[in-house]
Structure 1
Amino acid sequence: MQRKIYFVLMLLWMGVIFGFSAQPAAESTQTSLRVGRLVCGIFVKDYEEMSAAEQTALAENIEFPIRKAAHASEYALLGILVFGVVRKKEMTKRQMLCAILVTAFYAASDELHQFFVPGRSCQLRDVLIDTAGGVAGVGIQYILLKHFRKMEGIE
């Protein structure tokens, strides 16, 4: 039953990623800038006292790292979900590799999809960032499951 839940969540998350990738460049940039302004408002001292032009410039400066962090985070969650689908009771390196490969394949297909979206492009760098996020997600889930199983005396 747990694998079915992971499977449904994986498909839903793939749909969310597809939706983000289907955004034209201008819309995607505006989303990133909104997040940038939010981050600046939380972490930058006196951000609210800055002029609108200064706030915009600061948000634009962090837009690129925010976009790449979002890529990695999206695919970290996808890696966790795919690993939940392929994982059996006994976790193996083969299952981890399978989850990473599925995540990498989806990242590559997602970049190809972006090639056909107005103003977007297909970049190997993004596939690598997405795949690194997937590796991190699979690794984190593996470590956490090992830890909790050890605590429960299962392993």
Structure 2
Amino acid sequence: MKQRKNYFRWILVIGWMVVIFLFSNDPADISNEKSDFIINLVNILGIDLNSTLGELANFIVRKIAHFTEYFILYLLVFNALRNDFYLRKALIISLIITFIYACSDEIHQIFIPGREGMFRDVLIDTLGGVFALVIISLYKKFRGKVTKKSC
């Protein structure tokens, strides 16, 4: 049963990698349409990003998407590794996998019309992973203190 759970965790990782790949596979005009859709959705909620951020709105939405995609990827990879490695090693390996996939994603984008691979995006993607690492580390540290105090 434990092995079946681990297979499922890796299926989630691979599935999310496919989602990232599919987003990256969109030509620039389709990617911009998706960003504009998010901007309009946020506008419906009462926050007018275009009037607040102007031309930067689309750029910021895209970078937040990068950060979020890789934040989620890191969490999924960590979840798949956490039972096979000590905490610190699982945290580091998860970050390495996140970084390598971010690099491969940017290389992939070089071949998509209107898109380009940017090292800046690799950094943003990796920061999403680092943020997830910090949250997990703080959670484990805090949870450990609460457990010790309750004994």
TM-score (ref. length: structure 1): 0.81
Of residues 34, 39, 43 in structure 1, which corresponds to 2:37?
34
Structure 1 residues 144 and 89: alpha-carbon distance in aligned structure 2, compared to 1, 3 A threshold: farther
1:25 aligned partner, one-letter code = A
User: What percentage of residue pairs aligned between the two structures are identical?
Assistant: 37
Of residues 22, 27, 39 in structure 2, which corresponds to 1:24?
27
Task: Name structure 1 gaps, 5 residues minimum.
Answer: 48-54
Alignment size in residue pairs: 144
- In structure 2, the partner of 1:51 is none
Quote the Cα distance in structure 2 between the aligned partners of 1:78 and 1:94: 17
- In structure 2, the partner of 1:84 is 79
Runs of 4+ in 1 over 6 A off after TM superposition: 55-59
Q: Deviations over 1:7-56 (max 9, x none)?
A: 11101000000000000000000000110111122133xx6xxxxxxx69
Equivalent residues in 2 for 1:115-130, closer than 5 Å = 115-130=110-125
Equivalent residues in 2 for 1:5-154, closer than 5 Å = 5-44=8-47, 60-88=55-83, 91-148=86-143
Quote the Cα distance in structure 2 between the aligned partners of 1:139 and 1:5: 25
Q: CA RMSD in A?
A: 2.4
